[in-house]
Amino acid sequence: MAANTLLKVTGLQVAYGGIQAVKGVDFEVREGELVTLIGSNGAGKTTTMKAITGGLPMLGGDIEYLGKSIRGRGAWDLVKEGLAMVPEGRGVFARMTITENLQMGAYIRSDNAGIAADIEKMFVLFPRLRERKDQLAGTMSGGEQQMLAMGRALMSRPKVLLLDEPSMGLSPIMVDKIFEVVRDVSALGMTVLLVEQNASRALGIANRGYVMESGNITMNGEAKALLNDPRVRAAYLGE
């Protein structure tokens, strides 16, 4: 496993809606890893992701990306440096076609041949998108929109891919497909930070995991060890 740390969060504190939702969180993501941040709804996971990508201001602590602090940087700026996020709720451009959405993902690039080649790669990774490439994104199912949102983020050729609750609201069959794609993307060498309520599925594909409760990290370790930990099984797997 590569030891090079790409993303390091230290003592992160964030308020959201007048409440301190994140209370001093520490974690890191190393190159080539698939790291998952699990926890129940309201634990502070999405707030943490928004702070990393510049969507929410920090009360305290620091976030380092590629060895440099990114505190106060905007999301548009961070995408240029290789930090891409697929937000909760997907956020596709509903009135654009699938192909146009993918092209939007490459807005920071000017290599037209490379962009065309990467769109073809997305169609290989997500065959369903190829079938519907001229369809308006807003007419697709939730699972198809999730695939499109992931493909759009990958079009920026990120160094780190942040996924916020990719399985939320999807049918069981589509959840299977989404986790399969996340695993495949990771296997290609992409560094991934996955925030997910579905603890068993997330830990099943991750290298390492962090458990978040009420704005704090309460446990961390190798994903397999966490998956077999009685406390995790009781709290998140209903055992």
Quote the strand ranges of the chain, DSSP E. Answer: 5-16, 19-30, 34-38, 60-65, 68-69, 83-86, 160-164, 191-196, 208-213, 216-222
Q: Domains for the chain: give ranges and CATH numbers.
A: 5-236 (3.40.50.300)
CA–CA gap between residue 58 and residue 213 (Å, rounded)? 19
Q: Digits of tens for pLDDT over the chain (239 positions)?
A: 446 999 999 999 999 888 899 999 999 999 999 999 999 888 999 999 999 999 999 999 999 999 999 998 888 789 999 999 998 877 899 999 999 999 999 999 999 999 999 999 999 999 999 999 999 999 999 999 999 999 999 999 999 999 999 999 999 999 999 999 999 999 999 999 999 989 999 999 999 999 999 999 999 999 999 999 999 998 887 65
Residue 229, token pair as written in the block: 């930990």
| Model pTM score | 0.93
